[in-house]
Amino acid sequence: MEISFILLVRAIFLLILGQCVFSAEVPALILFGDSTIDVGNNNHLLTLAKSNHPPYGRDFPGKRITGRFSNGLVATDYVASMLGLGSATVGYLNPEAKGDNIVRGVSFASAASGFYRGTAKIYNVLSLEDQLKLYIQYREDLARVELRFLGVRRVGVLSLPPFGCLPSQITLYGLGKETCVKNLNKEAQIFNSKMLKLLQKLNGTDGMRLAYVDIFSQLKDAARFPAKYGFVEGRRGCCGTGLVEASIFCNKFSIGTCANASKYVFWDSFHPSDRMSFLLAKTQLPKVLHDLL
């Protein structure tokens, strides 16, 4: 079964622990993934998979358009803040990603990326393999700031989201019903189940500690019962009609864009709103730290 390219991989993030110049238990946050946590890397690539235009970023501090696929911050920005690592993460391809700005971590995530390298190649973005190569370069950059060797010892892996509850997928495969598409959610659950078993098997290998981050359950629950989380809309995104608009199709000319994105579970037809991202970070981070620290 084919799944739209932007759904292939949601995010992988690394909580890197070790002796460092910071007193925090988690001295750096290194991020790999797709549009869920792309904080602007694609701005510096020749690709259509960008969000460097209004209304993206309209609720970002200072109302800056950063290349995030959100009306404001993304979940890992909140994670970084909760860990005391700064108010927002920086993309490695950003010219500002140098010196002290990269000491507490960076994001290599690239919108339209996926596990399959060919997918990223089609859209001229960073594949997961490309992102890992950049991580090697990042370690060399850190050496120039005279930090000790930064080794990966704590890894958190995000689950796939409930594909069937994304507005775009309800529109495409919902047969006119505004309810989550069961077979798409089932596919995600099967993948998540296998990934969880793999993480449990690998946990403890070579001193590694691994944590499974379940965003599937909370996002699905919010989409189905938005009022439970203080939202008014869980089936449509804020941008445009909320049914199909994302990336270049979510723009300042999109008719129908909502005035208050905090009332919506989804910002566009694929991505959570700023507030939903905050709730995911707030709920999941304590669980991850419990498993990793």
**Cα 63-65-66 angle, rounded to 5 deg:** 120
pLDDT level of residue 25 (50, 70, 90 thresholds): confident
Please state the domain extents for the chain.
5-160+182-215+273-292
To the query of whether residue 269 is one of the catalytic residues in this protein, the response is no
Residue 268 among the catalytic residues: yes
**Residue 13 binned pLDDT confidence (cut-offs 50, 70, 90):** low
Q: Tell me which amino acid residue 101 is.
A: N
Confidence of residue 206 (pLDDT cuts 50, 70, 90): confident
E strand segments, 159-240: 209-213, 233-237
Question: Rounded distance, CA 103 to CA 125, Å?
Answer: 25
Best CA proximity match to 10, nearest among 215, 181, 196, 183:
215
pLDDT band at 23 (very low <50, low <70, confident <90, very high): very low
Tell me the per-residue pLDDT of 44-86, one tens digit each, with 9 for 90 and over: 999 999 999 999 999 999 999 999 999 999 999 999 999 999 8
Structure tokens at 179: 């309810």
Mean pLDDT of the chain: 89
Q: Report whether pLDDT(125) > 80.
A: yes
Q: What is the pLDDT of residue 148?
A: 45
The whole-number pLDDT of residue 19 equals: 35
Q: What pLDDT shows up at residue 15?
A: 53
The mean pLDDT of 175-184, rounded to a whole number, is 91
| Stretch 84-106: mean pLDDT | 91
- Round to whole Å and give the CA distance between 83 and 29: 9
pLDDT value of position 142: 82
Give the pLDDT of residue 27. 84
Identify residue 241 by its one-letter amino acid code: T
> The tokens 């689950």 sit on which residue?
159
211 three-state secondary structure: strand
Task: Exactly one of 271, 273, 274, 277 is catalytic; name it.
Answer: 271
Report the alpha-carbon angle 142-147-150, nearest 5: 75
pLDDT grade for 207, boundaries at 50, 70 and 90: confident
The answer to whether residue 271 is catalytic is yes
Measured distance CA(93)–CA(151) in Å, rounded = 21
- Is 7 a residue whose pLDDT tops 50? no
Q: Is 194 helix (H, G, I), strand (E, B) or coil?
A: helix
Annotated active-site residue in 34, 35, 38, 127:
35
Closest CA to 102 of 153, 150, 46: 150
Amino acid at 204: G
What are the tokens at 40? Answer: 């602007």
Q: Which residues pair with 14 in a beta bridge?
A: 30, 155
pLDDT, tens only, 257-270: 999 999 999 999 99
Q: How far apart are CA 6 and CA 14, in angstroms?
A: 21
* pLDDT score for 144: 74
Summarised one tens digit per residue, pLDDT across range 153-179 is: 789 999 999 999 999 999 999 988 889
Q: Catalytic pick from 51, 268, 273, 274?
A: 268
pLDDT category of residue 151 using cuts at 50, 70 and 90: low
